[in-house]
Chain A
């Protein structure tokens, strides 16, 4: 006989485990200078304070450890918390770093990167500018048409090997390449990179923008429409130039 109501096996289940996918910014560190990390983190966050406020973050130490640099995980966690970020995971850490993370109740993720292509808001923080690293810029490849109402964000470059429909929006911190008709909105250099460029096969865009400098469809001259062009910034104005 059961004695308490709460242990009644026939009571309906009030919990279940479900599988869900979340997109979380990943902080990739490539330098171990704590002061430099703080300084650059502050600058990054000031670009979008609301976005980062209380945002969960996974930190990735793989690049750091590849260079043989070492960083105390506890110190890093303190810094992140100080900047109102909520560290929820470590990736690419050494066994020592993993141990410290475990003791801080921070989950450990494997380095195997199976993020979906459309992962939004993934942060790629180049804390130290290493010239040899430019070849390894994060690139997102989209192989299917980007339809009206869809939004794609790349923390590095973005390549779309199909068309981008009117009413769709593609954003990249780096360059944007569209190997099809670009009819939607394309925003390159969204974190302020004024050297970012947009390349497209057939310009019919609703809006184009580089580092916040934009042009709407109405402002586009007929002589740049419907052909392959590249778009870049010179002295705060957008230059649209034929590609061929």
Chain B
């Protein structure tokens, strides 16, 4: 059986798709057969971030409607043989998704894959609901600012009350916090919430902090998940997150400001 991970946030533009692409790639690189599904029907983005937009023939909605098989719609990633992408439809809207249809696809994928990453659309409506409904684990993506934190809190409430696990009284979804676009310098200046502030409000297990980084934008634009950019701080941060998710203990990085050589030599904390 596969483990189904939803990457969700409530708010838009916080890094759900970037994170989905990065962790799916990270899991596959660690040797686990992984599928990543774009639930943002109508605003298809994941294929761009994954750099497979020119190979899309069939999509998620085609499979739900029985117009294509899963194997026809799944796109194998260029960089990793164990990673497959199921793109969203750009020409349809979220009403094309049905609970039965999504359930069946996840069931079928579960037979063959180890991890299924569901890239949720923003909002708390149908698309987002279906993306999280069948999840076993949730990565809640939050930016260090108040509205994003509030929306994440709302999403956590929905995860704990409207998911399949909640409805069937199973063990609840495991929730993890991923703090993205973090800038220690701006925290110091007081225009950004700190890791502690966010954790105080959400009281959630912190899986990792992704620093604000130019490498994210350039990776997105070139269609290569940022985790493959091993030199970048964001790439390393995602690598840490995948390792921690898989049970490895790693100290948190990128929470404090970068120190110069002098600071590195003599700096305490």
Contacts and interface: CB of A to CB of B under 8 A. Distances in A.
Interface stretch (A86-94, A164-172, A192-200): A164-172
Contacts of B150: 148, 166-167
A206 to B, nearest CB: 11
B201 interface: yes
Given A145-B156, A165-B201, A168-B157, 13 more contacts: A146-B157, A147-B153, A147-B157, A148-B150, A148-B154, A149-B153, A149-B154, A149-B158, A150-B161, A163-B203, A166-B150, A167-B153, A167-B154
Contacts of A82: none
A165 B200 CA distance: 10
A180 B150 CA distance: 17
Contacts of B203: 145, 162-163, 180
Contacts of B157: 146-150, 165, 168
Interface in A128-183: 144-150, 162-163, 165-168, 180-181, 183
A168 B154 CA distance: 9
Interface of A: 144-150, 162-163, 165-168, 180-181, 183
A237 B126 CA distance: 44
A30 B158 CA distance: 38
A61 to B, nearest CB: 29
Contacts of B160: 144, 147
Contacts of A181: 200
Contacts of A163: 203
A146 B156 CA distance: 9
8 contacts: A145-B203, A148-B154, A148-B157, A166-B153, A166-B201, A167-B153, A167-B154, A181-B200
Contacts of A166: 150, 153, 201
B173 to A, nearest CB: 12
Most chain B CB within 10 A, of A146, A148, A150, A168, is at A148
A117 to B, nearest CB: 12
Contact of A148 (B153, B161, B200): B153
A167 B156 CA distance: 13
A150 B156 CA distance: 10
Contacts of B153: 147-149, 165-167
B139 to A, nearest CB: 17
A167 B201 CA distance: 12
A145 B140 CA distance: 15
